[in-house]
Amino acid sequence: MRGISVIQGTIAPLNQANIDTDQIIPKQFLTGVTRTGYGINLFHNWRYLPGPKKLEDPSFALNQPEYQGASVLLTRENFGCGSSREHAPWALADYGFHAIVAASYADIFYGNCINNQLLPVVLTSAQLDLLFTKVAQNPKVEVTISLSEQFVSCEELKFEFDIQAHHKNNLLKGLDAIGQTLELDDKISAFEAKRPSFA
Partner 1 sequence: MPSTLYEKIVNAHLVEELGDDLLLYIDRHLIHEVTTPQAFAGLDEKNRRVRRPDLTFGTMDHSISTKSLALDACGPLNQLQLNTLAVNCAKHNIPLYPVGHKNQGIVHVIGPQLGLIQPGMTVVCGDSHTATHGAFGALAFGIGTSQVEHVLATQTLKQSNAKNMQVKVNGKLPLGVTAKDIILAIIGKIGHAGATGHVIEYCGTAISELSMEQRMTVCNMSIEAGAKAGLIAPDDKTIEYIRGKEFAPVGKQWEQAVTYWQSLHSDADAIFDTVVELNADEIEPQVTWGTNPGQVVGINQNVPSPASFSDSINQDSAKKALKYMGLEAGQSIQDIAISHVFIGSCTNSRIEDLRAAAKVAALGRVVDGVTAIVVPGSVAVKAQAEQEQLDKIFINAGFEWRLPGCSMCLGMNDDVLGSEDRCASTSNRNFEGRQGRGARTHLVSPEMAAAAAISGKFTDVRKLGA
- Residue 178 CB, shortest distance to partner 1, in Å, is 5
Mark the segment that binds partner 1 (CB under 8 A) among 2-10, 55-63, 100-108, 131-139: 100-108
How far apart are the C-alpha atoms of 94 and 80, rounded to whole Å?
16
127 binds partner 1 (CB under 8 A): no
Q: Is residue 41 within the footprint of partner 1 (CB under 8 A)?
A: no
Identify the sign of the CA torsion 176, 177, 179, 183: positive
For residue 41, what are the CA distances in angstroms to 37, 54, 92, 160, 198?
8, 9, 10, 32, 46
Is the CB of 6 or the CB of 177 nearer to partner 1? 177
Q: How many residues does the chain have?
A: 199
Q: Could you tell me if residue 196 is left (phi over 0), alpha (psi between -120 and 50 degrees) or otherwise beta?
A: beta
Q: In terms of CB distance, is 22 or 142 closer to partner 1?
A: 22
Single out the segment in contact with partner 1 by CB under 8 A; choices: 62-70, 83-91, 93-101, 146-154: 83-91
* Residue 59 binding partner 1, by CB under 8 A: no
Residue 166, number of CB atoms within 10 A of its CB: 11
Q: Which residues lie closer than 8 Å to 37 by C-beta, 6 or more apart?
A: 94
Q: Which residues bind partner 1 (CB under 8 A)?
A: 16-18, 20, 22-23, 26-28, 30-35, 45, 50, 76-78, 81-86, 89, 104, 106-108, 111-112, 115-116, 125, 164-166, 177-179, 181-182, 184, 187-188, 191-192, 195-199
